[in-house]
Homo-oligomer: A and B are copies of this chain.
Amino acid sequence: MSETFDLKETLLEALKTKNAKKVREIFDIIPNIDIAEALEDCEDVTLLVYIFRVVSKDYTGDFFAELSSEQQERIINAFTDKDLITLLDNSFADDIVDTIEEMPANVANRILRVAPTDLRKDINQLLNYKDNTAGSVMTTEFIEMRDTTTVKEALQTIREKGRDAETVYTIFVKDAKRTLVGTIDLDDLIFAKDEEQLKDIMNLDFVTCNVNEDQEEVANLFKRYDLNAMAVVNNENKIIGIITVDDVMDILVEEANEDIAKLNKVSNMDEPYLKTPIHKLVKKCVPWILALMILQIGTAAITSGFDHLIASFAVLAVFSPLILDAGGNSGGQTTTMIVRSLALDEFEKGDFKRVIWKELRVALIIAVIIGIFATAWTFFEMSVLHIGEIDASKITINKTLAQFFVALLVGSTLMVTIIISRMIGCVLPFIAKIIKIDPAVMCGPFTTTIVDIVSLLTYFLLWSEVFKGLIGLTA
């Protein structure tokens, strides 16, 4: 961390004194993202523009992509058209699209206006893909070759055109009809003999995705098949772009963060906490609490319907939070496991029944363990710690026996609650998936609410129908 401060000072010093040699040296030894972060607060745009004048074109495109959109906008506004064209030349189409999406309309239009025709076409195409699809994350700069190309020719082409491609580690091979027929890893080219043809050495076991595929599915494929790059094809199986592993790392984290957030009743955490404006943080949190509050009307209605029971025997209120919490947590555990398994594509068709059957057995075992423990623990709380006092004058049986019955009420309610809540927590994510709602969004609030209602109903009914009589309440 202390490095960052030194870097910032050294860098600003070099820029202010127009020490081109020093600036170039810094770009040689420090990763672009670290430099971009160090200049995040730099308000003197001439210093930033100076970088693009003196630093090697090998760095500037990537460096620009790492800057915040505020800095990018500032720089573009300070650029001449010629500067801008040079920058676009040294940038990848997907990075340019990311930039354009954050710019005000006039800046975005200027970028499109100065972009060379080919690039403009690519950009426009990429801008049209829906968010979170393969199309929206792919880039159009890749190397494709005919299957009849020789290894020698292929290496020659890579030397000539490779600099403009997002990756040269995977080369895509097409047949005469421009259909993708194989892929070649750069190392296989290096290992092969000069005169061999690509079709003889290419991999046939390659994996592709459709341009409309969800980015989460794409990321799962990368992870499953340990890919460096994947071809994105259209409905005619022609390659129209590629996705590279560096983008996939971001997607994996983004998608996991989404699940984490929603399961914990926060909206998308797509920006670092400290960089998210306060009003956005409020917006991420408030709707969930409001929704839960409204849904909680069920719990309130049930408690209200049984309030005479509580008035006559306040001990019930002492242990109701325990029952609500244990039920909610138990259902939440199942939901969490199922939602993640769905996200990671672990289930195949027909697995639903296997999941239910497995969860039922798990639920039964947990219910028995927790039921017994809860009975013992509640009895201990009541008899030893005197939490939840019973007024001996109100009951017809021995006080210790009454305490045991209350403990048994808590334990047996939990047994029922855990089984039901785990079944709900297990079924809900599948239902969400079928009706095409994000399982994490739906299950967070709904599991809690439904389980709360079931728990309280069980608790009050078991009390009024069974235990109240056993204890012989007189009031």
Which A residues fall within an 8 A CB radius of B?
1, 4, 27-33, 155, 158-159, 162-163, 168-169, 186-187, 190-191, 204-205, 207, 222-226, 228, 245-246, 248-250, 252-253, 256-257, 259-261, 263-266, 269, 272-274, 278, 281-282, 284-286, 288-290, 292-294, 296-297, 299-301, 303-304, 307-308, 310-311, 314-322, 324-326, 329-330, 332-333, 335-338, 340-341, 344, 346-349, 351, 354-355, 358, 361-362, 365-366, 369-370, 373-374, 377, 381, 385-389, 448, 452, 456
Contact = CB atoms under 8 A, between A and B. Distances in A.
Question: Helix, strand, loop or mixed for chain A's interface?
Answer: helix
Contacts of A326: 289, 292-293
Given A169-B187, A186-B169, A346-B274, A366 B285 contact: yes
* 5 A-B pairs closest in CB distance: A256-B256, A226-B246, A307-B314, A264-B336, A311-B314
Contact of A249 (B29, B252, B286, B292): B252
A261 to B, nearest CB: 6
A265 B252 CA distance: 22
Contact of A370 (B246, B286, B381): B286
Contacts of A355: 273-274
A246 B366 CA distance: 37
A365 B190 contact: no
A380 to B, nearest CB: 9
B365 A278 contact: yes
A304 B273 contact: no
22 contacts: A1-B349, A158-B187, A162-B191, A223-B250, A226-B249, A256-B256, A263-B263, A265-B329, A266-B336, A285-B333, A289-B326, A289-B330, A292-B329, A293-B374, A300-B321, A300-B322, A303-B317, A303-B318, A303-B321, A303-B388, A307-B314, A321-B321
Given A278-B361, A333-B266, A321 B307 contact: no
B263 A300 contact: no
B317 A205 contact: no
A210 to B, nearest CB: 16
Given A261-B337, A278-B358, 11 more contacts: A245-B245, A253-B344, A256-B256, A263-B263, A273-B337, A274-B346, A286-B366, A293-B377, A294-B377, A308-B314, A310-B314
Contacts of A245: 228, 245, 249
A129 B245 CA distance: 27
A282 B191 contact: no
Nearest to A369: B286
Contacts of A347: 274
Given A245-B228, A296-B325, A366-B286, A253 B250 contact: no
A324 B324 contact: yes
Given A273-B338, A321-B452, A370-B289, A332 B264 contact: yes
Contacts of A448: 325
Nearest to A373: B290
Contacts of A248: 249
Contacts of A304: 315, 318, 386-389
